[in-house]
């Protein structure tokens, strides 16, 4: 394969036909460049879309205590089941390894909130840091409750944007002190909830603080969990159903509720509602595969066209060379050698330029639906190899035909 004389011959052809070399190089390089950029943008969009749907993607599982409907172990029906921290701790101990988001809440409706001369009746809800994720709320100012607040029973609160408007007259409430049922709390954040008015008549406080300062001991109202994401929808549903059943048994037996009494311990599993997320995810993947494949096809077609035009342009030269004693195989080798050389070099240039651009511009081009545009280097390299091989194959067919052509026919070609 390594033949110095042929290399010299090819370098001569390349350097003497600067325009042809340049145009071939530019089209191959720009093809790869566009491909890399498209793949990067595709990846960025995919990341962005996935990320923005992930928030409400994972089906959540709510657990609440109600009134028993059946007599069980000598207890009358109609008894209220009150969850306590121990119920939550037990659940997490037992199933923590398959959980993603988890938390428990204690809520109280009709709490009086006072700031200066303004006051109103709202709900306070004791939560842990995951509380924001499960409510699908968003922080628009300051921060949410964090682990430190919960651990130290800090008297801090996160108010809704509605409360900010009603109590604080739309001035920033961060750092202000309000009273909730007579207890002072410092506002550390403002949230907004797409759930609307009802979900905005609420302040969040650390669960531990709520239990301590409002004297509710270790009582909790609800528990909520989400499970780790699965590869397919079916797996997710299967696991959620199993988890729901096991959790129900665990909590019912702990609280003396009949194993089939769904009103004593209620569990709402909304995983079945997230089918659309898994479907969407699949469609996004398919779409970008499709885009990628189409781009590669476009690149292959582009490179092939160039090679065909080059061979066409060189038909006469091939005829001359054949008349002077070039064998068909040497003609084919000459064309392939040149085309592979040029496509590889310019392909690399295009690849590196594309990667560099993504690297430089990518971090500045982030938005909600566009995150981390990047190209897997191995994907890029294999794309390049595919294009080089495609270029060689595309060059081979016309080169083979040109080598087969009788020299008189090629020479007649003016």
Partner 1 sequence: MIEIKDLHKSYKMGHSELHVLKGINFNIKEGELVAIMGSSGSGKSTLLNILGILDEADSGLYTLDNVPIKKLNETIASKYRNQFLGFVFQSFNLINYKSALDNVALPLYYQGMKRKERNEIAMKYLDKVGLSSHSHHLPNELSGGQKQRVAIARALASNPKVLLADEPTGALDTLTSYEVMELIQGINDEGKTILIVTHEPDIAAMCKRNVVLKDGLIIDDKMIEQVRASSYV
Site residues for partner 1 per CB under 8 A: 5, 8-9, 12-13, 16-17, 316-317, 319-330, 403-404, 406-408, 411, 414
> Which ranges constitute the DSSP H helices of 215-259?
233-254
Could you tell me the two tokens for 68?
Answer: 């028993």
**Euclidean distance between CA atoms 112 and 223, whole angstroms:** 25
Whose Cβ is closer to partner 1: residue 21's or residue 346's? 21
Q: How far is the CB of 308 from partner 1 (least distance, A)?
A: 20
Q: How far is the CB of 319 from partner 1 (least distance, A)?
A: 8
**Euclidean distance between CA atoms 156 and 10, whole angstroms:** 76
Whose Cβ is closer to partner 1: residue 171's or residue 404's? 404
Whose Cβ is closer to partner 1: residue 319's or residue 362's? 319
Distances in Å between the Cα of 369 and the Cα atoms of 52, 290, 365 are: 7, 19, 10
Q: How many CB atoms are closer than 10 A to CB 122?
A: 23
Q: How far is the CB of 293 from partner 1 (least distance, A)?
A: 38
Residues whose CB is less than 8 angstroms from the CB of residue 140 and which lie 6 or more positions away in sequence, other chains included: 161, 190, 191, 192
To 10 degrees, the CA torsion angle through 357, 362, 365, 367? Answer: 150
For residue 147, what is the enclosing H or E element? helix 147-151
Residues whose CB is less than 8 angstroms from the CB of residue 352 and which lie 6 or more positions away in sequence, other chains included: none
Q: How far is the CB of 11 from partner 1 (least distance, A)?
A: 12
> Which ranges constitute the DSSP H helices of 201-232?
207-213
Q: How many CB atoms are closer than 10 A to CB 134?
A: 21
Whose Cβ is closer to partner 1: residue 9's or residue 177's? 9
Whose Cβ is closer to partner 1: residue 24's or residue 68's? 24
Q: How far is the CB of 329 from partner 1 (least distance, A)?
A: 7
Whose Cβ is closer to partner 1: residue 329's or residue 356's? 329
Q: How far is the CB of 351 from partner 1 (least distance, A)?
A: 29
Q: How far is the CB of 17 from partner 1 (least distance, A)?
A: 6
Q: How far is the CB of 408 from partner 1 (least distance, A)?
A: 5
Helices (H) and strands (E) in the chain, counts: 14, 12
Distances in Å between the Cα of 131 and the Cα atoms of 226, 249, 280, 352 are: 12, 25, 26, 45
Could you tell me the two tokens for 290?
Answer: 């499709």
Whose Cβ is closer to partner 1: residue 148's or residue 327's? 327
Whose Cβ is closer to partner 1: residue 249's or residue 327's? 327
**Euclidean distance between CA atoms 374 and 386, whole angstroms:** 20
Q: How far is the CB of 3 from partner 1 (least distance, A)?
A: 10
Could you tell me the two tokens for 346?
Answer: 């310019």
Q: Closest Cα to residue 358, out of 339, 385, 377?
A: 377
Whose Cβ is closer to partner 1: residue 35's or residue 410's? 410
Handedness of CA 255, 256, 259, 265 (dihedral sign): negative
């Amino acid at each position: 394969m390594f033949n110095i004389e042929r290399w010299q011959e090819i370098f001569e052809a390349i350097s003497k036909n600067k325009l042809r070399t340049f145009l071939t190089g530019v089209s191959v390089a720009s093809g790869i460049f566009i491909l890399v950029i498209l793949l990067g943008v595709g990846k960025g969009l995919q990341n962005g879309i996935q990320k923005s749907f992930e928030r409400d993607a994972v089906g959540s599982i709510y657990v609440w205590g109600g009134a028993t409907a059946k007599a069980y172990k000598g207890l009358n029906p109609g008894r209220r089941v009150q969850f306590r921290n121990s119920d939550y701790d037990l659940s997490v101990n037992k199933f923590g390894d398959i959980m993603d988001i988890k938390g428990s809440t204690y809520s109280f409706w009709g709490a009086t909130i006072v700031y200066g001369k303004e006051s109103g009746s709202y709900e306070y809800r004791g939560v842990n840091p995951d509380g924001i994720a499960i409510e699908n709320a968003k922080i628009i100012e300051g921060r949410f409750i964090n682990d430190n607040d919960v651990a130290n029973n800090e008297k801090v609160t996160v108010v809704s944007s509605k409360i900010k408007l009603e109590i604080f007259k739309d001035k920033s409430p961060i750092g202000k002190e309000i009273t909730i049922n007579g207890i002072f709390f410092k506002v550390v954040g403002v949230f907004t909830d797409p759930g609307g008015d009802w979900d905005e008549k609420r302040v969040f406080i650390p669960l531990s603080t709520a239990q301590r300062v409002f004297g509710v001991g270790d009582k909790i109202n609800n528990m909520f969990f989400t499970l780790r994401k699965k590869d397919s929808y079916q797996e997710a549903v299967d696991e959620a159903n199993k988890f729901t059943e096991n959790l129900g048994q665990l909590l019912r037996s702990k609280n003396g509720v009949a194993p089939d009494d769904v009103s004593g311990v209620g569990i709402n599993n909304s995983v079945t509602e997230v089918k659309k997320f898994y479907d969407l995810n699949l469609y996004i993947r398919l779409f970008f595969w499709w885009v990628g494949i189409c781009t590669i096809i476009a690149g292959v077609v582009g490179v092939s066209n160039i090679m065909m035009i080059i061979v066409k342009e060189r038909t006469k030269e091939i005829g001359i060379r054949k008349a002077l004693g070039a064998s068909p195989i040497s003609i084919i080798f000459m064309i392939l050698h040149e085309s592979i050389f040029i496509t590889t070099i310019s392909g690399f240039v295009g690849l590196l330029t594309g990667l560099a651009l993504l690297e430089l511009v990518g971090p500045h081009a982030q938005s909600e639906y566009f995150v981390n545009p990047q190209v897997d280097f191995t994907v890029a390299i294999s794309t390049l190899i595919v294009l080089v091989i495609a270029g060689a194959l595309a060059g081979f067919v016309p080169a083979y035909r040109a080598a087969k052509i009788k020299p008189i026919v090629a020479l007649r070609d003016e």
